[in-house]
C-alpha cells in the first residue's frame, strides 16, 4: 500500500515559523543527548517490540483467540549492510500512529509497559540517517523510510524537514512477510552515528 510522503513532525506545528522549528530541533537534540550507549538502538527497538507483542496478546485474549497467537520477535544484524532490523508480530501501527509515532513525546502506551516516554522511536528516527518502518494491521499496510534525518538535525540551515517516503523494496524482511500483523524497523549505521559499525564488537560474518 503506497502513501503520499509525509513529515512525521507535522503534528508539532513546525510550519509556524523558524523559531518553532528551532525549538523542535532542540527538543529532538535533547532526546538524542540522553542516549549515549552502544546498545541503545537495540534496547529501544526490542522494548517496543516486546510491548507490541504483549499488547497483541492482551487484544487476542479479549477477542478469545489467545490460543492461536504465538508472540515472535526477530532481531537481525546485517554486518554487510551495517544495519539492525527488529521485527515483531505484535499489535502493529495503524495509519494514524504510523504518521505520528516518530514525533517527540508521542506515546500511545498506557498501563504496564516498558516504554512510556514517547522518545525511543524519535531517537531511532532522528539519531541515524536511515530508518525504515513497515507495518501491517487489518486494513492498513505500509512501508516507509526516512533518509538523512540526523544530518538534517545537525545542519543549521532551514531546509525542508525529512519525510517518510514509501519504500518500494519488494520484500522488507522475511520475518515481516510471514507475519500476519506487526512491525519491522531497520536502522542503518554510518560514520556519523553511534554505533558506527556493527562489526566493531568482533562479530564475524
Ligand X SMILES: Nc1ncnc2c1ncn2[C@@H]1O[C@H](COP(=O)(O)OP(=O)(O)OP(=O)(O)O)[C@@H](O)[C@H]1O
Q: Which chain residues interact with Mg ion by CB under 5 A? A: 48, 115, 120
Stretch that binds ligand X, among 33-41, 74-82, 113-121, 168-176 (CB under 6 A): 113-121
* CB-closest chain residue to ligand X: 115
Q: Which of residues 49-88 bind ligand X (CB under 6 A)?
A: 49, 52, 88
Residue 187's binding partner out of ligand X, Mg ion, none, with CB under 5 to 8 Å set by partner kind:
none
Q: Is 116 in the site for ligand X (CB under 6 A)?
A: yes
Q: Which of residues 87-106 bind ligand X (CB under 6 A)?
A: 88, 90-93, 97, 101, 106
Q: Decide whether 58 or 177 has the Cβ nearer to Mg ion.
A: 58
Q: How far is the CB of 165 from ligand X (least distance, A)?
A: 19
Q: In this chain, which of 21, 42, 74, 115 binds ligand X, going by CB under 6 A?
A: 115
Compute CA 130 distance to the chain's CA centroid, rounded to the nearest angstrom. 10
Catalog residues that contact ligand X under the rule CB under 6 A.
44, 47-49, 52, 88, 90-93, 97, 101, 106-109, 115-122, 183
Amino acid at each position: 500500500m503506497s502513501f503520499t510522503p509525509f513529515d512525521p513532525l507535522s503534528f508539532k506545528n513546525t510550519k509556524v515559523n523558524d523559531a518553532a522549528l528551532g525549538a523542535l530541533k532542540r527538543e529532538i537534540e535533547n532526546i538524542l543527548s540522553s542516549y549515549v550507549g552502544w546498545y541503545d538502538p537495540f534496547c529501544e527497538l526490542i522494548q517496543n517490540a516486546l510491548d507490541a507483542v504483549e499488547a497483541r496478546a492482551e487484544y487476542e485474549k479479549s477477542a478469545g483467540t489467545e490460543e492461536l497467537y504465538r508472540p515472535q520477535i526477530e532481531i537481525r544484524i546485517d554486518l554487510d549492510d551495517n544495519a539492525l532490523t527488529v521485527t515483531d508480530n505484535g499489535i502493529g501501527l495503524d495509519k494514524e500512529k504510523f504518521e505520528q509515532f516518530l514525533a517527540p513525546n508521542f506515546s500511545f502506551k498506557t498501563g504496564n509497559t516498558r516504554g512510556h516516554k514517547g522518545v525511543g522511536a524519535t531517537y531511532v528516527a532522528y539519531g541515524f540517517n536511515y530508518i525504515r518502518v513497515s507495518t501491517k494491521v487489518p486494513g492498513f499496510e505500509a512501508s516507509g523510510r526516512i533518509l538523512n534525518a540526523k544530518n538534517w538535525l545537525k545542519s543549521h540551515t532551514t531546509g525542508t524537514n525529512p519525510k517518510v517516503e514509501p519504500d518500494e523494496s519488494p520484500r522488507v524482511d522475511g520475518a515481516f512477510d510471514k507475519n500476519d500483523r506487526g512491525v519491522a524497523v531497520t536502522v542503518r549505521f554510518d560514520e556519523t552515528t553511534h554505533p558506527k559499525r556493527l562489526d566493531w564488537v568482533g562479530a564475524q560474518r
